[in-house]
Structure 1
Amino acid sequence: MRAPHPSGSIRNLLTFDIEEWFHANYEGLEDFATSKRRGSNFRAQLEALLELCGETGSKATFFTLGCIGEDYPDLVKRIVRDGHDLASHGYGHQLAYKQSYLEFYNDVKKSVDILEQLTGTRVLGYRAPSWSIVESNLHYLEALEDIGLQYDASIFPVKTFLYGIPTAPRDIHKPRVNGRELNLYEVPMSVTRVAGRNIGYSGGFYFRFFPGWFIKRAIRAANEQGQNSIVYLHPREIDTREQKLALPAKEAFIHYYSIGRTKSKLRDILTSFNFTSIAEHLQETRKLTV
């Protein structure tokens, strides 16, 4: 049964980065192939997210790695069958700013081809692993345009040790690269202003760190200004039983803080606000081509 949503509220954007527990980009980790042999709870995690979307009447964008399409084709098909937006997260979770332009193009193209051939549906969007479109490789967005994608959701208007463009526009827009406006929408991650700085509040570590009342207050504030808020999470963030990476204290705190409360907090947020996918929102408001 679908939970009731507040009537008349703006539809916010629900997104998931679909990857395994070991797909992280900190320095010094064992290679993905070695970690993969240790197994995972990924199937149960993704099924739980799909069921939660169904229970709350929420549509989402699932930014999916191409290798996930190869390893779990039935689950990726279910994403589409359940009416969600299937988008690319690249093929193997490599940081975009550590790839050459050609490596980046080939990585994204490979993932798009896998997902489209698997499901028979067109992939419209992309999100870089670990928000790795930054100022130094902003021109990589031209590769997405050349591939035929219609939106990117890789830019986080903050500054951290791993990612971010703190001066980036906070609204959905068509970015300019090399003096030219791209035929591609940029959907930046939601931020709020605290002490004169942009901070995230509604995804990943920020979603786990801040209390639910703070997140809901920030979403309401954005909606009152006519803006959408974007939520993003990874499958591993709802599963305390999943295996964990051996990380230094700071990185472990960022990666695993409050995972035990994430699923119930997500359910509360999804029943408190209306959520749709990025593609559906852009199709309704900006008439994307499907």
Structure 2
Amino acid sequence: MIRSAAVNQTDNMLTFDIEEWFHANYDHINPDDYRGKGSKFRAHMDALLQICSDTGSKATFFTLGCIGEDYPDVVKAIAREGHDVASHGYGHQLAYKQTYDEFKADVKKSVDILEDLTGSKVLGYRAPSWSIVESNLHYLQALVELGLKYDASIFPVKTFLYGIPTAPTEIHRPQVNGQELDLFEVPMSVMKLGGRNMGYSGGFYFRFFPTFFIKQAIRSANRQGRNTIVYLHPREIDAAEQKLSLPSKEHFIHYYNVSGTKKKLQHIMTSFEFTSVAEHLKSRFGLQV
């Protein structure tokens, strides 16, 4: 696959949340009920890695520790292709429903699994369902204590499930109790729409907005010297994957336009340069590993 000639040289960041189709944070869903009972996960991962290879893109794969246990070969393949393997926690528990000690132990468990598989230090973390919010922002201190270098858990919007609408929208060093942490915060990309922050380049937003709109938003951000972060889940590129039984609103958010997402992702990745979060932080902010 050849990237188009009109490439913007800004190094936007490509990220994937590596989990199974049943990893979702709804009260009636217990992932353990579905684990090991079949999915197209390996095919999805092969497709994502192939698209990255075809477009010369590097990405950060925020990977659950349980994925490392169930698919060690997949995690090794991600690392072998030169991508950034980061933590997504162990079993997709919401961070704000854990105590500080539970959260720290959960992240450590996942980091230990991933480092053992890749032989490389895990540098970053993204909370399941963006579950670092105002009430548990101090949990970021646990990441520092574990030796991680960046967090990508904060979405500067407000939804029924997540978000800190007043959070900085640029990469920064977060403050907890008035103290700046030795940690980079890499917030999810947003744009202003109707005076409010709105996502446009990941998950439901990526599936909802048309390709031309996303491209225009990325170009606008790049012209202003800002980098866009794209994020998706493996299940979002395959309409034939199994689906959870969800109420109509949640079903719409979870599954809208999954049939068109793979083609859209390929188009976006041929139109812009993408790198991993770790490589971006190294080149732009002097991240020391």
Which TM class, normalised by the smaller chain length? over 0.9
- Which amino acid in structure 1 is aligned with residue 9 of structure 2? S
SS at match of 2:113: helix
Q: List runs of 5+ in structure 1 lacking aligned partners.
A: none
Aligned residues: CA RMSD: 1.0
Cα offset for 1:33?
A: 1.6
| 1:149-160 mapped onto 2 (5 Å cutoff) | 149-160=148-159
SS at match of 1:9: strand
Cα offset for 1:46?
A: 0.7
Q: List runs of 5+ in structure 2 lacking aligned partners.
A: none
- Asked if structure 2 preserves the Cα contact closer than 8 Å seen for 1:5 and 1:271, the reply is no
- In structure 1, the partner of 2:217 is 218
Cα offset for 1:35?
A: 1.3
Change (3 A) 1:247 1:207: same
Q: Distance in 2 between matches of 1:274 and 1:93?
A: 30
- Asked if structure 2 preserves the Cα contact closer than 8 Å seen for 1:16 and 1:63, the reply is yes
- In structure 2, the partner of 1:3 is 3
- In structure 1, the partner of 2:54 is 55
| 1:166-245 mapped onto 2 (5 Å cutoff) | 166-245=165-244
- Asked if structure 2 preserves the Cα contact closer than 8 Å seen for 1:2 and 1:57, the reply is no
- In structure 1, the partner of 2:38 is 39
| 1:111-122 mapped onto 2 (5 Å cutoff) | 111-122=110-121
TM-score normalised by L of structure 2: 0.98
- Asked if structure 1 preserves the Cα contact closer than 8 Å seen for 2:17 and 2:62, the reply is yes
Cα offset for 1:39?
A: 0.9
Deviation per residue, 1:233-289 (Å, 9 max, x gap): 000000111110000000000000000000000000000110000000000111112
SS at match of 1:90: coil
Superposed structure 1 runs of 4+ greater than 3 Å apart: 1-8
- In structure 2, the partner of 1:15 is 15
Cα offset for 1:6?
A: 3.7
SS at match of 2:216: helix
Change (3 A) 1:233 1:8: closer
| 1:71-86 mapped onto 2 (5 Å cutoff) | 71-86=70-85
- Asked if structure 2 preserves the Cα contact closer than 8 Å seen for 1:131 and 1:156, the reply is yes
TM-score normalised by L of structure 1: 0.98
What is the aligned-residue identity percentage? Answer: 70
- In structure 2, the partner of 1:24 is 24
- Which amino acid in structure 2 is aligned with residue 168 of structure 1? A
Change (3 A) 1:5 1:150: farther
